[in-house]
Structure 1
Amino acid sequence: MPAIEKGARRAARRRSALLALGGLLTLLLITFCIHGYALSTLEVQLAAIRSWIIGDGLYTYREDGTPFGAALSPVLALMLAPLVVLPLPVAGWLLALTSLAALMLALMVLAGPAAREHGRSRTLIVLTLTALALLAGPVRATIGLGRVDLILFGLVAADLVALRRATLARQRWWRSRSATGDRSPAARLRRVWFTGGWAGVGIGLAGAIAAGPLLLIGYLLVSKQRRAALTALVTATTVSLCALIAAPSETLTWFGTTLWEIDRAAPLSDPGNQSLAGVLARLYGDSAPPVLVWISFGVLLLAVGLIRARSAHADGDETAAFTLVALAGAAAGPVTSPGEAIWLLPAVLILADEAIRRRLGTRLPRSRFTGVGFAATALAGYALMVLDPLAAQTWNGYAVALILLVNALPWRHDNLPAAPARRPVRRAAAIPGPRGG
């Protein structure tokens, strides 16, 4: 017994040392990101908010010597307003730590089911994936620039929890409710929580902060998840109305003009714009893409993404469905910064999980790719994100990856068995069938 206790204490000390080392390396990496990107986006946004506070207007602010200003919604401006009283590095660190928590939450949601399926510790998997994600360019750019893309990522991922467990949890709840007959307000709140009735709240909040996540409401309608779509729409509308009450002039200006100024923060041909519009603008050597060409291919990408997402939902893989919609929105949208390419992370996770499932002999539909092919694609996608962002932007690497994954990302078929099924033994029928039947 003493030897066993001594071994347990030694293992506990080893885990504590590894966690401390991981925490230290995480802080060093965040410091490196903040120093490298200098919180330039957050600096512009806070300067615009200060201009708004002193009465000059939120959207009249311009960077020194440039025609570019801040492109943030009134909801986001109200969220960031308390940070104006802090020094820029302190504000950046607070936003970075919040983004780190949102990233860990999202990875727990995305990788948790796969960890359980393969018999691995969810905590260890999440910590490992967090360390790998912090090396990826979209995460580094989001933290270093002081953007909120990771927070939006976490909000959207939170809705996956509700959508996954809605059916099973609702059945369990109604059985217990019929047995107890509890109709109190507290019981109703528990029912909403445990049955996933709050699905759509995260998408609605993210859609009120930025326009991109609103595409997921269209997906929820296409996949006939009308209750979640209605919840998301009501949430986004309610938050926007609260912003209208708090800042009526800025809210009207945002929805009336500023939202449609797609080149407000930078020209569309800027190398940092990794959307289809940015690629076309650079190919044509102009500050903006040819509108008809961009709209035609953009609508096609959105249609492919929504159709494939609906098929993934029908096969039970909500994670792949959300990822396909987000990738399609990032590829077809007018402006996609490296930070907004954050949904490449779950795409790489899906490819890696597909490779593992095929390596273990899981019964899956036929594919042109083998397990080695999926593993190589996942490694290539992760290597692209780890590379210097400037090099990836010069090659239009993120844009090409977004477009390819919208058309080729696989999804898991949960209606198939998770392990190879044995061939059933044929037995003689108890009642012979008719001849020729």
Structure 2
Amino acid sequence: MTGGAVSSVRRRWWAWALAALVVVLAAAPLVVTWLTNADDQRLVDLDVYRTGGQMVLDGRPVYDFFTPAPQLLPFTYPPISVLLAVPLAMMSWDAAQWVWTAGVFVALGVTVWFAFRRTLEGKKYAPWLFAALMVACTYLMPIRDQVRFGQVDILLVALCLADCMAKRPWWPRGFLIGLATAVKLTPGVFLIYLLVTKQWKTFWMASFAAALLTLLPFAVIPQDAADFWFSALLDPERLGSNAATTNQSLRGMLIRLYLPDALTTVLWLALVALVAWYGFRGAYRAYQAKDTLTAVALVGLMAVLLSPVAWIHHLAWIVVVLGALAGAGRDRVRLWVAGGVWLYYVLPIPWWGVSLKAAEIPVLSPVVGKLVQNAYGLGALVLVWLLAAWLPKRRTILPD
């Protein structure tokens, strides 16, 4: 290597190191806010994971415990998740908080890289653009909630995205999707995507990994495994109030209409069928057009919309959507649209709807307030249309 090449490599490393420092400094206010919050409001989902791991270590029933008041949260994930949480239980609470929060940002970094790879690759200013994108995505409300609650969703996004987007993976392609599906079921929509797109080898690997990791707990914690699959899984109320504002799935939006239960169920099943048909058809067409990123973004939105319960932090898939909309960064219209979507999911719009409903303004509060309360779920539906219908037409005007 020549002296000039060595100097260039050194400058590049320094650029990446400084870019990482920028991200740390920009994210510090968010991290410090939540990691210095009151104990009963600090990373409450991480507390659930650790307590589940402690139940395994103590030989106590995993799906019977609740975290202390005022949260009173049960463990709701499949049994393999609680086995993976055992190392967290072996750490101190303070150490687990910092390790987990660092992991959230590593997963976000992986997600941002794959989502915006077309924009970043080959650019001299890539470190600075990457830092800017990391900071912008950190303050999306679904990502803020990842830090606030100590949630696992961004890790699942990173696993599925890397599995689909890596050019030459060192792991068997499909394994990471299988792992994500075993950990939290909703990534199972990627199995449907692999079937629809006839990626048979990847589908069988993902199915094998998911099945293996699902069956393994029956050999290690058989009673807990049986408790989950034959009892806890069948109780959607274990996840919390399904009518809460934070549930932005199709079902959550319908429940907040307070129609008769039977009618709500019929409408939900009809909408699930319609949205699934439209979304997976769009993903298939994107895959056929060799736009895997858009296909993954659409499938990620399916994981949110079709699930019976999808909290706001499940919308971590918005990072992938933004990357698909931005493309290679050459189309100003697409960049403006991506910027608008970013702003929409930075603002706490659903909570504005709650405030508007509470104001009890005739006509405005009950109608407009409810629409605003469902803003993130309705926005996700619009994003499905943008990715499946608008983006292909836009690409004919100005190809990536």
Mapped partners of 2:300, 2:352: distance in 1: 20
- Flag the 1:350–1:21 CA change in 2: closer, same or farther, 3 A: closer
**Structure 2 counterpart of 1:82:** 87
Q: TM-score, normalised by structure 2?
A: 0.82
Q: Is the 8 A contact 1:278 1:288 kept in 2?
A: no
- Flag the 1:287–1:383 CA change in 2: closer, same or farther, 3 A: farther
- Flag the 1:378–1:145 CA change in 2: closer, same or farther, 3 A: same
**Structure 2 counterpart of 1:298:** 272
**Structure 2 counterpart of 1:255:** 229
For this pair of structures, how many residues does the alignment match? 370
**Structure 2 counterpart of 1:406:** 384
Per-residue deviation, 1:281? 1.0
- Flag the 1:312–1:56 CA change in 2: closer, same or farther, 3 A: same
1:142-189 CA deviation, whole Å, 9 max, x = no partner?
121011111111111111234xx47xxxxxxxxxxxxxxxxxxxxxxx
- Flag the 1:289–1:10 CA change in 2: closer, same or farther, 3 A: same
For residues 38-117 of structure 1, what are the structure 2 equivalents within 5 Å?
Answer: 38-63=42-67, 64=69, 69-116=74-121
Q: 1:238 aligns with which of 202, 212, 219?
A: 212
Mapped partners of 2:276, 2:13: distance in 1: 50
Per-residue deviation, 1:289? 7.9
- Flag the 1:268–1:13 CA change in 2: closer, same or farther, 3 A: closer
- Amino acid of the structure 2 residue aligned with 1:388: P
Mapped partners of 1:125, 1:288: distance in 2: 50
Per-residue deviation, 1:353? 2.9
Mapped partners of 1:398, 1:89: distance in 2: 33
**Structure 2 counterpart of 1:266:** 240
Matched, 1:383 2:343: yes
- Amino acid of the structure 2 residue aligned with 1:157: L
Per-residue deviation, 1:322? 1.0
1:31-77 CA deviation, whole Å, 9 max, x = no partner?
22444551112223333443444344111113548885221221111
Per-residue deviation, 1:19? 4.6
Q: Secondary structure at the match of 1:72?
A: coil
- Amino acid of the structure 1 residue aligned with 2:121: R
Mapped partners of 1:60, 1:275: distance in 2: 27
Q: Is the 8 A contact 2:111 2:320 kept in 1?
A: no
- Amino acid of the structure 2 residue aligned with 1:131: V
CA RMSD, Structure 1 to Structure 2 (Å):
3.4
Higher gyration radius (CA): 1
- Amino acid of the structure 1 residue aligned with 2:348: D
**Structure 2 counterpart of 1:220:** 194
Per-residue deviation, 1:14? 8.3
Matched, 1:357 2:361: no
1:200-241 CA deviation, whole Å, 9 max, x = no partner?
111011001010111101111101111111110011111222
Mapped partners of 2:261, 2:47: distance in 1: 25
Mapped partners of 1:23, 1:60: distance in 2: 38
Q: Secondary structure at the match of 2:209?
A: helix
Q: Is the 8 A contact 1:137 1:389 kept in 2?
A: no
Q: Is the 8 A contact 1:142 1:339 kept in 2?
A: yes
**Structure 2 counterpart of 1:396:** 374
Mapped partners of 1:18, 1:124: distance in 2: 6
**Structure 2 counterpart of 1:203:** 177
Mapped partners of 1:398, 1:41: distance in 2: 21
1:61-103 CA deviation, whole Å, 9 max, x = no partner?
1354888522122111111112223333321221111121111
Q: TM-score, normalised by structure 1?
A: 0.75
Mapped partners of 1:349, 1:56: distance in 2: 44
Q: Is the 8 A contact 1:33 1:140 kept in 2?
A: no
Q: Secondary structure at the match of 2:266?
A: helix
Q: Is the 8 A contact 1:312 1:411 kept in 2?
A: no
- What are structure 1's unaligned runs of at least 5 residues? 1-5, 167-191, 360-370, 421-437
Percentage of identical aligned residues: 23
Between 1:57-66 and 1:77-86, the stretch displaced more is: 57-66
Q: Secondary structure at the match of 2:238?
A: coil
- Flag the 1:35–1:302 CA change in 2: closer, same or farther, 3 A: farther
For residues 22-33 of structure 1, what are the structure 2 equivalents within 5 Å?
Answer: 22-33=23-34
- Amino acid of the structure 2 residue aligned with 1:308: G
- What are structure 2's unaligned runs of at least 5 residues? 1-6, 355-372
